Amino acid sequence: MPNLKSIKRKISSIKNTRQITKAMKMVAGSKLKRNQSAMSEFKVYASAYDDVIKNISYNAVLYSHPFYGKASGGNTGIIIISTDRGLCGSFNINLFKLFFEELKTAGIDSNQAKLYILGKKGFDFFKKRNYDVVFNRSFSESESTINLSVLLSDGILDDFKGGKIENIYIMSNRYISTLHQKAYSEKILPFETQAAGKNKNSGGYLVEPVDYEDEIIDKIFKDYIYTKIYSRILESFAGEQASRMNAMDNATRNAGKLINKLTVSYNKARQAAVTLEILDIINGMNAIK
């Protein structure tokens, strides 16, 4: 027969856990609204920058720029945007699965993968598996997400221009909806050249003065990489809170179901105990007679 005190103790413990998960769900929901707002506001700017780069990419003159061209199979830099904290469902696990799938799909040798990781969870995961982590920062230890994005973009671009890496991928979770976040990989460097028949002379832009054209183009390309990284960080923040909110909601529901099940078990055990006591009394009375 189940121990009544043990069942009652379990019910009390699960109720306390349910209160915690319910509070965490509310906190995640509050953070989600702020992150959604920041993501949406910056997405307009990032989308406009994407259009600028696409337009510039039609300029055949720029194809000699270091950011264009085809890699020859050297080291590959991979930016991974994970989280500092857990309790967010399969948010990080899906990202790590995508990493291994991308290595196979793109034919990247794991020994040639140079990782640039944001988030403690990502660093812990890949460091245990002996991957070459070139750059690592946690969001909680960084004063500003903007400065962190600039620091990462400057570091990886220096390695790209210095020939230490020949490709750059970025992997993070894309925010699709409150209930749906999807791990996504994108190659951001080198830029792909357009088909020869579609090339235009200027890409639709006139740079003046001409003497500063190279500096201006370099600045545009650098800001584009920074914009891409910062945009993906904001999207990952929103996805993380949405995933955590859903995970805590599921945990709260499951705790409620478990409490109901244990309550039924407790009532049955108590009823059985009462029945046994009544039988003992009846048997005692019969023995006296």
Domain boundaries, the chain: 20-247
- Beta bridge partners, 4, equal none
Regarding the domain with residue range 20-247, which homologous superfamily does it belong to in the CATH classification? ATP synthase, F1 complex, gamma subunit (3.40.1380.10)
Residue 133: strand, helix, or coil: strand
Residue 287: strand, helix, or coil: helix
pLDDT at 239: 94
C-alpha to C-alpha distance for 247 and 24, rounded to whole angstroms: 10
Provide the residue type at 11 as one letter.
I
pLDDT at 256: 93
- Give pTM, 2 decimals: 0.85
Residues of the chain with pLDDT under 50: 195-197, 199-202
Nearest to 182 by CA among 108, 99, 278, 94: 94
pLDDT at 63: 63
Can you read off the two tokens belonging to residue 187?
């190659």
The secondary element (H helix, E strand) that includes residue 236 is helix 213-288
Nearest to 18 by CA among 242, 262, 270: 262
**What are phi and psi for residue 219, nearest 5 degrees?**
-65, -40
Q: How many CB atoms lie within 10 A of CB 8?
A: 15
Dihedral in degrees, nearest 10, Cα atoms 136, 140, 142, 147: 90
